[in-house]
Amino acid sequence: MEYSIREAKAHFSAAIAAVERGEHVTVTKHGKPVATIIPAVPEKTGVDWEKAARIRKQLGINPDDYDLGDEWLEKFNDPAFSRQVLGLED
């Protein structure tokens, strides 16, 4: 869908309705495109745990096969270990 600036101002609700249906609306000035209104993409945040589970399954990784014990947490929380892993050791 394409509107001139004047048409876009006059029919803004119709333009937004078109965008809500998934269309792209181009706004023109003197026949040349100057802007495009597109549907907003919801911002993804956090971890997609379902996707992670699918990938583990595809790769044949079963978390129950790994027994890390309780020692890893203490080591993980030690700043010296973090510095070593990140290569920041002197």
What SS3 class is residue 69?
coil
Predicted model pTM: 0.47
The tens-digit pLDDT sequence of the chain (90 residues) is 999 999 999 999 999 999 999 999 999 999 999 999 999 987 777 888 999 999 999 999 888 887 777 777 888 888 888 888 888 876
What's the token pair of residue 83?
């510095």
CA dihedral 66, 45, 50, 23 (to 10 degrees): -150
